[in-house]
């Protein structure tokens, strides 16, 4: 889109945060980057996450959509249970993010799930248009736990 390639990191190492990148297709220079965790981790020796595991989706107008994963560790640790290693909802984890593809400005986001017990929003965003405006959805590629 506009000569840019979009990619991301997954940020599984302690203290890591996901990053979305726009890279110039001609010269490989990073044109913009967006860190997917807004605030500092409460405990960066333990917390990480917010990565985008799937290829970003770009619409015809140049908006880039990215689904982000949960913060880690899931549910906390024995010393810091229930997400104590991160503060509050850990914006922008577990979210669908929409960027201006040209500038990297965050247009909007939707926190999909604030409890952080699963990898809900990391799925790839897909655009559909059927007899009306485009709809954004996540593609689910595996059944929920316990599904038959």
**Predicted confidence (pLDDT) per residue in 34-73, tens digit:** 999 999 988 898 888 888 888 898 988 999 999 888 888 8
pLDDT digits (tens, 9 = 90+) for 4-37: 999 999 888 899 999 999 999 999 999 999 999 9
Question: Pick from 115, 6, 94: which is nearest to 58 by CA?
Answer: 6
Tokens of 68: 């982000």
Residue where the block lists tokens 């549910």: 75
* Residue 148 scores a pLDDT above 50: no
DSSP H or E run through 107:
strand 106-111
Using CA atoms, how far residue 55 sits from 9, 45, 133, in Å, is 10, 28, 23
* 81 secondary structure, DSSP code: B
- To the nearest 10°, report the CA torsion of 9, 56, 106, 40: -20
Q: Which tens digit of pLDDT belongs to each residue from 62-119?
A: 999 998 888 888 767 788 877 778 877 788 988 889 999 999 999 999 887 655 455 5
pTM above 0.85, yes or no: no
Contact 108, 98 (CB under 8 A): yes
């Amino acid at each position: 889109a506009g000569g840019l390639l979009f990619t991301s990191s997954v940020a599984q190492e302690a203290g890591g945060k996901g990053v979305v990148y726009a890279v110039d297709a001609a010269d490989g220079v990073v044109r913009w980057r967006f860190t997917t965790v807004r605030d500092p981790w409460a405990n960066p020796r333990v917390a990480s996450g917010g990565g985008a595991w799937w290829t970003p989706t770009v619409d015809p107008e140049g908006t880039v959509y990215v689904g982000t994963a949960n913060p880690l560790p899931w549910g906390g640790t024995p010393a810091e249970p229930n997400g104590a290693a991160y503060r509050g909802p850990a914006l922008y984890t577990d979210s669908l993010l929409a960027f201006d593809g040209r500038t990297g400005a965050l247009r909007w986001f939707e926190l999909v799930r604030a409890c952080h017990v699963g990898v809900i929003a990391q799925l790839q965003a897909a655009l559909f248009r059927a007899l009306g405006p485009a709809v954004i959805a996540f593609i689910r590629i595996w059944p929920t736990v316990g599904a038959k």
